[in-house]
Amino acid sequence: MLSKRIIPCLDVKDGRTVKGVNFVDLRDAGDPVELAAQYAQQGADELVFLDITATHERRKTMIEMVKSVARQLNIPFTIGGGITELADAEALLNAGADKISINSAAVRNPKLIEELARAFGVQFVVLAVDTKYVDGKNRVHLNGGRLITELETENWIKQAEDLGAGEILLTSMDHDGTKAGFDCGLLGKINQMINIPIIASGGAGSMEHFTEVFQKANVDAALAASVFHYGEILIPDLKQELKRNHIPVRI
Amino acid sequence: MIGIVNYGAGNIFSLTAALARLNVEYGMVNTEADLEKYSHIIIPGVGHAGTAMEKLKHTGLVAAIKALTKPVLGICVGMQLITEHSEEGDAELLSIVPVKTKKFDKSLNIKIPHMGWNAVNPQNNPLFEGVEDNTQFYFVHSYFIEYNPTFDIASAGYGLKFSAAVQKDNFYGVQFHPEKSGKAGEQILKNFSNLSL
């Protein structure tokens, strides 16, 4: 049986991981390679690196980081942030990234999904969607939730699947940062509509929240950042807890 | 020393990185003469099987690969290439292992692609030396190799039972990505590099 995946997400700026990471035995918490290796060791099933660099040097810096990670890491990883064209994606693929995630660029140019899927296969293309409930509708947001769009989340995800997205990373801006649990209602609804894997994001605060999102929404994977980085949830403990609740995991 | 067939189907950075971590030496196979330089050959591959077969034909290596008597390992689409036929692009393939590559059927109530970690049940085979039953490996694919007990050396289940690994004589194939499957995957690469026929 296919295991449910646990995915730590790392923010990267100028080739360095940001956000407080306090693993005791890390020599350098800002080193993405060391951090990635640590997570792989703990039993993470996959990693997501989100590049938040805003300078012109970003692309070169990112490629170097991706290569360093790929040299060391023996599990799959996804790179997101700043991918606007085929050439960006190809450079990341050649540097060893398993998947890329696109967000704003796909909203602005939906054909990008189609082009990426045709060039590199659907398995390479993750569509990240930030959603927020506004005036009775789930609306797609950009720029980390600051910019609302006309798109309704359900419609956009369905359209993206048709265009060739291989996986959906859905972040609920209403739940993100609350540590009150994932948005199981919306995740379950979207999951029913599509036939590609979906990663739940936003709201993880305890191990029970992971159990809940797998049981209620039957998502394929769950992603979190701070609960892992601050050591509030240790992946081996989480996997045992999920197993006790009869959720298939890789131990 | 392992030779990697360099025919342009997908990225091989992760594969070479995994071999380097294991201290297994490797080089690239671009010409027929290159095939002679190595004791073991890997055929990698990501993407569309029909397209990958076209690319392999362009290298002019097809006949020489089929005639190899040293250990050969196809990975993912590279494994599919050693079968007879793929439903992906209705493509005739190398026909080294007489089995077919078929599309997962979503009416089986499964998501496609089959993406993530799944348990594998290996037979007693040197490629899986030291790998326990139900060890999980990382898969990413929409097409699978039909289960055939004659050639199957490891099976997995996703809607139906399929071959996660096959063998015929010196030709091996694995559907999962050993270079992305943690320690278990590294064991497979190590075992392959130690195979002697």
What average pLDDT does this structure show over B4-25? 92
B146 is catalytic: no
Name which residue leads in pLDDT, B89 or B176. Answer: B176
Q: Note whether ipTM > 0.85 here.
A: yes
What's residue B18's pLDDT?
96
Domain A5-244 sits in CATH at: 3.20.20.70
User: Are the C-beta atoms of residues A173 and A186 closer than 8 Å to each other?
Assistant: no
- Residue range A83-90: mean pLDDT, rounded: 93
State which residue of chain B sits closest to A191, comparing Cα positions: B111
pLDDT confidence of residue A28: 67
Averaged pLDDT, B55-63: 96
Chain A residues within an 8 Å CB radius of B182: 40, 74-75
Instruction: Please count the structural domains in chain B.
Output: 1
Show me where the domains of chain A are located: 5-244
Q: Find the closest chain B residue to A94 by CA distance.
A: B11
Instruction: Write down the pLDDT at residue A103.
Output: 95
Within 8 A by CB and 6+ apart from A180, the residues are A203, A205
**pLDDT at residue A19, as a whole number:** 64
Position A21 confidence tier, pLDDT thresholds 50, 70, 90: low
**Predicted confidence (pLDDT) per residue in A97-113, tens digit:** 999 999 999 999 999 99
pLDDT digits (tens, 9 = 90+) for A180-206: 999 999 999 999 999 999 999 999 999
CA distance B113 to A126: 12
> What pLDDT score was predicted for residue A29?
66
CATH of the domain at B93: 3.40.50.880
Q: Residue B64: which domain range?
A: 2-194
- Which residues of B touch chain A, with CB atoms under 8 Å apart? 11, 13-14, 17-18, 20-21, 46-48, 106, 111-119, 136, 138, 140-142, 157-158, 177, 179-183, 185-186
Catalytic residue flag (residue B40): no
Instruction: Search chain A and give the residue with CA nearest B143.
Output: A123
Partners of B21 on chain A (C-beta within 8 Å) are 71-72, 74
Assign B167 to helix, strand or coil: strand
